[in-house]
Amino acid sequence: MSSLLLAAASTVPTTLEWSPKVAIVMVICNIIAIIIGKFTIQKPDVGPGLPSPSLFGGLSLGALLGTTSFGHILGAATILGLANLGAL
């Protein structure tokens, strides 16, 4: 069993280390996701509000958490894709 796990672990490619470029890509992807969410969520202001609602355009806490979750998925895919292309 352990030899099977070691064989599987040896085929995993190395991942990209954190850098300011990676952080900038993640922030941009989160901003894009918030913009997409602001225009596509039917009732973005339903639920608990944020301390500064004007900062995020009237999104509720749930809407903000949903859009930033989507932003992290989008960011991880973008970072992995750019790393695979050699752009990061």
Per-residue pLDDT reduced to its tens digit, 20-38: 999 999 999 999 999 998 8
28 is a domain residue: yes
> What's the structural domain count of the chain?
1
51 is a domain residue: yes
56 is a domain residue: yes
Q: Which domain holds residue 40?
A: 16-85
Backbone φ, ψ for residue 87 (5° rounding):
-85, -20
6 is a domain residue: no
| Span 49-71, pLDDT tens digits | 777 767 767 788 888 899 999 99
- In contact, 67 and 33? CB cutoff 8 Å: yes
pLDDT score for 70: 95
Alpha carbons 69 and 26: distance in angstroms, whole number = 11
39 is a domain residue: yes
9 is a domain residue: no
- Has residue 17 got a pLDDT over 70? yes
Alpha carbons 22 and 29: distance in angstroms, whole number = 11
- In contact, 60 and 44? CB cutoff 8 Å: yes
pLDDT score for 8: 67
Is the pTM here over 0.75, yes or no?
yes
